[in-house]
Amino acid sequence: MSFSVASFFHPYSKFLHGAAYNLHQNLEGLGVVSSSFTERDEAGKVIASYWSPDQAMVITLGFLVMLALLLIPLLSAAAYTVGKKRGLFCFFALLILPGVLNCLGLFPIINYLPTRYAINGVGKLGSEVGLIPLLMLCAITGWGVMVLLYDNLNLTERFRQIYDHFWFPLALVAAVFFVADNGANEDTALLKGATVNVQDASGYLLSQIRRYDDYCKANGLDDLRSCQWSRDSQWTFTHIKEGEAGYFIEFAPDDSRGFYAANRRTVSDDDVNAIRKEIAEYNQRLCPVKYFSSDISRSSPLSSTCEYVPYHYCSARPDGPPGIVDEGIGSHTVALASECIIPRLAAAKPYLKQLSALVSQHEKAKNHRWLYFLAVALAIGAKVSLSTTKLCLIDARPVADRRIILRAVRYRLGQCVRFMKRLLIDCGQWAGLVAIRVFKRFKRG
């Protein structure tokens, strides 16, 4: 047992600290706050840039501490309204109970902090345990405010019935959330599947490009533009293969020409067509296709070099102009399937952008929904307070026993006003006496 001030306040500090961390995580997901910091020198030059959730969360914690301090007199007034001195005693007994239990070593150890914190984490909701303090703060705030409003505005059973008309439709929102979650899961699955398809197609083409690079080296063809491309493009396809959807959307080329440019900034149409023609010759040399008529042809047998490209990698038609490659390349065995995989990758970027935007909207909706649950907790506290006022028979109290807090506040405000008036009068009289004395001395002089 450790009876100290720090031990007494430890449960309350952990309670508010965990609440602040989880609230800050959701507000950061919404873009309201940020854990990013930039340090500048006296000349305004940036000397350091870093992320620190612990440092950024201090402001959020400060607001919650202010809220907690305001709640104490609010809930005290509500408890006195409900049960007079007995209610006030019960409130303070419950208030100090966690601190007393902690001093006795009986209060449980509760970790309200999230196990992970995501910088700019859209859709990240923090810890489920850390949500409990925020729900409790909202619920008791709603309870205290509604008790005071009900008593001091002389509300009646009619108001309870009106509030129920607002309260019960909240349950219907659960159906909206269910449909929204179902749509979000479908869009997320589509984005994941499209990303995997892009990664696999890039990996499949990368293995063929590496074989072509080895072929160029073995046959002394390093000067060919397609051989130079096979060396330079491996970096691009490797990163697409390893990267997620965000990388592909941000850094992958927007069209087929960008894939042929490799590490060069620009490439001419003539260079692109030259690369494609050399690759077509390579395919015809290693995996020749025999044409018996315009409609009938025979591919080379399947081997470790000649492969049928999976349809979902090769669903796009080759780029123009016509005559460079066979339009039906996807139905033949080939050694290097760049003609259909590259257009497929280029066509995938707008689709991934669209899906990614939808998923981002769904992720941000999680943060908005989290705030909605806090509002519901506030409404629940108000609903419970209406039951409390009914249980305590506030409606049956005589007029003299209602609006106690309002009368007390008016009385104290009246005292303050009278004190200020008396102070102003006294100051005015004192200032007048001083002015008279100064005038008399000036006149004598």
Q: Both 116 and 258 in a single domain?
A: no
Q: Do both 408 and 395 map to the same domain?
A: no
Same structural domain, 252 and 151: no
Q: Are residues 301 and 392 in the same domain?
A: no
Phi, psi of 275 (to 5 degrees): -60, -45
Residues 14 and 65 placed together within one structural domain of the fold: yes
DSSP assignment of 56-120 equals HHHHHHHHHHHHHHHHHHHHHHHHHHHHHHHHHHHHHHHHHHHHHHHHTT-SPP---S-S---TT
> Is residue 368 one of the residues assigned to a domain?
yes
- Cis peptide, bond prior to residue 321, ω within 30 of zero: yes
Is 201 domain-assigned? yes
Provide the pLDDT for residue 68.
93
**One-letter amino acid of 143:** W
The pLDDT value recorded for residue 92 is: 92
Q: Are residues 391 and 417 in the same domain?
A: no
Quote the domain boundaries for residue 254. Answer: 182-357
439 found inside a domain: no
pTM (whole model) above 0.85: no
Question: Tell me, what's the pLDDT at 44?
Answer: 65
Q: So what's the pLDDT on residue 74?
A: 92
Predicted local distance difference test score (pLDDT) of residue 134: 93
Domain's final residue, options 301, 330, 357 = 357
Same domain assignment for residues 157 and 196: no
Instruction: Report yes or no on 17 lying in a domain.
Output: yes
Give the CA count within 13 Å in the CB-facing half-sphere of 437: 6
Q: Is residue 441 part of a domain?
A: no
Domain count, the chain: 3
Backbone torsions φ then ψ of 43, nearest 5 degrees: -85, 0
Do 312 and 203 share a structural domain?
A: yes
Within-domain flag for 445: no
Q: Give the residues of the chain that fall short of pLDDT 50.
A: 1
Could you tell me if 88 and 208 lie in one domain?
A: no
Domain boundary among 332, 357, 382: 357
Tokens of 111: 């970790």
**Residue 52: per-residue pLDDT:** 81
Kindly state whether residues 286 and 429 are assigned to the same domain.
Answer: no
Say whether both 164 and 86 belong to one domain.
yes
Q: What is the CA radius of gyration of the chain?
A: 37
Q: Are residues 242 and 105 in the same domain?
A: no
Q: What's at 263, amino acid-wise?
A: N
Asked whether residue 176 is assigned to any structural domain, the reply reads yes
Give pLDDT, residue 383.
92
